[in-house]
C-alpha cells in the first residue's frame, strides 16, 4: 500500500457498496443462511459465482480481530495498558458501524486503530518503532488509513471504559455499610472475575448499547451478587423521598427492580461471551472468500486502487 492519501468518500458512498454486496450475498446464501465457503485453492470463474460476505461473516471477522488486539497489546513487543487495549477495540467497532469489511480489511484497520489509540491515550510510540515490531508492516500501511479511521470516528477519540467504572464501584463497595473485613476479602476475590468478564465483554457490542457504569455493574452482579445487590439497594433507598418530601415524584424507571432487570439481561450477555469461543476455521474460510469480493477501488492489489 502506498503512502498516498486514501480516497475519502461521503457517508452514502461508503454505505452503498455495502448495501449492494449485502443484496448479492442474500441471493447466494445457502439454506442455512450462510454462503457456501470456497474450498482451499478454488476461485470463482465468473462474477456471479462470487459469494459476498453476510452480516454474520463480517461480524466474525471483526470479532476475531478484536481478540487479536488483546494478544497484540499484551505481547512483550508492546505491553500496552488495558486502557489502550479497550480504546483500540472501541475504535474498531465504531469504524465498522459505518463501513464494511469488503471495503477495508479488519486487520489493516486494526493496526491503524492501535497506532491511533497509542496517541489518544498518551502512550506515544513512533511510527518507525511501531511498524518495525509487526511483521510485514510498513509505515505506509498504517498511516495511509489513519485519516479514514479518524473521519469514520467523527474525530471523537475519547472513550469512557467500563473497566474504569468497575474500579470505581470496587472502591465504593469497600465503603458500603455492612462490609467488614470478610467483605473486603470477598471483594478482592471477586475483582479478577470482574476484570475477566469485562475483557470478554469487549468482544461483544455491549458498549454500543449500554453505558460503562451499567456494564461495570453487571460484571459485579455476576461476580458477587449479594454484595452488589446490597450496594444497589442502598443507592436506591437514597432516592426515596423523606417524610417532608412526600410529594416528590420519583420516576418508576429509577427504582431498584427495573435496574436489576437490566443487569440480569446484560449479565447474561457477558456470561455468553465467555462461553462462546471463536471458530478460527470459520474465520479462515470467510477471510478466504473476502479475497474475491473486496471492493477493487479499495484493494491495493487491484488495478483500480
The answer, as to whether pTM is greater than 0.85, is no
Write the pLDDT tens digit of every residue in 151-209.
999 999 999 999 999 999 999 988 876 666 667 888 889 999 999 999 999 999 999 99
Q: Is 42 helix (H, G, I), strand (E, B) or coil?
A: coil
The pLDDT score that the predictor gives to residue 132 is 94
**Category of 155 on φ-ψ map: left (φ > 0), alpha (ψ -120 to 50) or beta:** left
Helices and strands of the chain, counted as H and E runs? 14, 0
Point out which residues pair with 29 in neighbouring strands.
Answer: 35
Parts of the chain with a pLDDT under 50: 1-40
| Residue that is written with C-alpha cell 478466504 in the block | 288
The Cα–Cα gap between 215 and 221 comes to 10
The pLDDT score that the predictor gives to residue 4 is 44
The Cα–Cα gap between 299 and 103 comes to 8
* Distances 37 to 65, 73, 215, 285, 290 between C-alpha atoms, Å: 20, 31, 36, 6, 10
Neighbours of 106 (CB within 10 A): 23
Complete domains list, the chain, with CATH? 11-158+279-298 (1.10.472.10), 162-275 (1.10.472)
The pLDDT score that the predictor gives to residue 181 is 62
The pLDDT score that the predictor gives to residue 245 is 54
Q: What is the largest CA-CA distance in the chain?
A: 80
Amino acid at each position: 500500500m502506498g503512502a498516498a492519501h486514501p480516497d475519502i468518500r461521503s457517508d452514502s458512498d461508503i454505505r452503498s457498496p455495502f448495501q449492494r454486496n449485502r443484496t448479492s450475498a442474500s441471493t447466494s446464501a445457502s439454506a442455512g443462511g450462510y454462503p457456501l465457503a470456497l474450498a482451499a485453492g478454488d476461485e470463482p470463474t465468473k462474477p456471479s459465482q462470487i459469494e459476498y460476505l453476510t452480516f454474520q461473516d463480517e461480524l466474525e471477522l471483526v470479532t476475531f480481530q478484536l481478540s487479536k488486539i488483546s494478544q497484540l497489546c499484551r505481547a512483550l513487543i508492546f505491553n500496552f495498558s488495558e486502557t489502550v487495549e479497550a480504546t483500540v477495540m472501541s475504535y474498531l467497532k465504531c469504524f465498522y458501524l459505518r463501513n464494511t469489511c469488503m471495503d477495508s480489511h479488519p486487520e489493516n484497520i486494526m493496526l491503524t486503530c492501535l497506532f491511533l489509540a497509542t496517541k489518544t491515550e498518551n502512550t506515544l510510540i513512533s511510527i518507525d518503532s511501531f511498524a518495525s515490531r509487526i511483521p510485514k508492516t510498513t509505515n505506509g500501511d498504517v498511516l495511509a488509513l489513519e485519516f479514514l479511521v479518524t473521519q469514520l470516528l467523527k474525530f471523537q477519540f475519547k472513550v469512557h471504559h467500563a473497566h474504569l467504572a468497575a474500579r470505581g464501584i470496587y472502591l465504593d463497595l469497600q465503603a458500603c455499610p455492612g462490609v467488614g473485613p470478610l467483605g473486603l476479602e470477598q471483594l478482592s476475590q471477586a475483582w479478577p472475575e470482574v476484570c475477566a468478564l469485562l475483557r470478554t465483554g469487549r468482544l461483544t457490542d455491549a458498549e454500543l448499547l449500554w453505558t460503562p457504569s451499567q456494564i461495570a455493574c453487571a460484571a459485579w452482579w455476576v461476580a458477587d451478587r449479594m454484595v452488589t445487590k446490597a450496594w444497589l439497594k442502598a443507592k436506591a433507598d437514597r432516592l426515596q423521598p423523606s417524610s417532608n418530601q412526600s410529594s416528590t415524584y420519583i420516576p418508576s424507571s429509577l427504582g431498584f427492580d427495573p435496574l436489576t432487570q437490566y443487569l440480569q439481561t446484560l449479565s447474561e450477555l457477558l456470561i455468553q461471551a465467555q462461553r462462546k469461543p471463536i471458530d478460527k476455521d470459520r474465520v479462515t474460510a470467510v477471510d478466504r472468500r473476502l479475497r474475491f469480493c473486496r471492493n477493487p477501488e479499495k484493494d491495493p492489489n487491484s488495478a483500480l486502487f
